[in-house]
A and B are shown apart, each in its own frame.
Chain A
Amino acid sequence: MAVESGKVTSFVVEASEYPDLVRKYHVSGVPKTIVNGTVEILGARPEEDFIRTAVGAAAPGASTVS
Chain B
Amino acid sequence: MHEPATNGARRQIADIAVVALLGLLTGLYLWDAVRASTAFLHLILVAPLAVLILALCLLVLVRTLATRPAADAGAGGAPRDEAAGALIAIGLFTAFVAALPWLGFDGATFLFIAAFLRLHGESSWLRIVIYALAFSLGLALGFSALLPYPMPMLLPAPGAG
Bind each other: no
Q: Which B residues are within 8 Å of any A CB, using their own CB? A: none
Interface residues of A (CB under 8 A from B): none
